Amino acid sequence: MKTTHALLLLAASLAFTACSRPPAAEAEAFDLVGAMGDLQRWTDKLGRAAEVGNWPLADFYLHEIEETTEALVAAGIVYHDQPVSQLTGAMLEPAVHVLENAVKARDAELFRRDYATFVQTCNACHAATDFAFIRITAPDVAVNPWNQDFRPAP
């Protein structure tokens, strides 16, 4: 009974937060969800290219990721009160640069390690911005054709 009550209170406060949020005008000027979709696609292709040792192709996708990351930082986005641009600069940009070293060195082992960190960074920011349910993964066709875990959070 007590738990039910607490859950109801939580649901009510969440609903209130959702209602009191400002309209997503900031995100309309910059296509945030479009940029995220691009990041996902390029992250997927980057992982697949590096996995088979196609470093020029990996470099191409990483470059696209870097440009989109820079555009996100420059756009000054605050989305649902979340400082998306600031977080991108603090979290994602350093992870991109770390990954660049592995691609330049054509070091598969280093890449695998830094790619895992990079993907975790995507998810860490999703958690930080209340989008924890968007969980990016390393590509694994044995799971599904997407580099995303669609299951409910454990």
Torsion sign, CA atoms 50, 56, 61, 67: positive
Size of the site for ligand HEC (CB under 6 A): 22
d(CA 153, CA 47): 23
Q: Does residue 92 interact with ligand HEC by CB under 6 A?
A: yes
Q: Which stretch binds ligand HEC (CB under 6 A): 11-19, 48-56, 107-115, 121-129?
A: 121-129
Q: What are the residues whose beta carbons fall under 8 Å from the beta carbon of 58, sequence distance 6 or more? A: 46, 49, 50, 103, 111
Q: Which stretch binds ligand HEC (CB under 6 A): 10-18, 52-60, 78-86, 99-107?
A: 78-86
Nearest approach, Cβ of 37 to ligand HEC (angstroms)? 3
b/e map 97-127, b = 16+ CB within 10 Å: ebbbebbeeeeeeebeebbeebbebbbbbbe
Q: Does residue 33 interact with ligand HEC by CB under 6 A?
A: yes
Q: Does residue 74 interact with ligand HEC by CB under 6 A?
A: no
Among 43, 46, 58, 103, binds ligand HEC (CB under 6 A): 43
Q: Which two tokens stand for residue 111?
A: 């890449």
Which residues here bind ligand HEC, judged by CB under 6 A? Answer: 27, 32-33, 36-37, 39-40, 43, 79, 82, 84, 87-88, 91-92, 122, 125-126, 129, 131, 134, 136
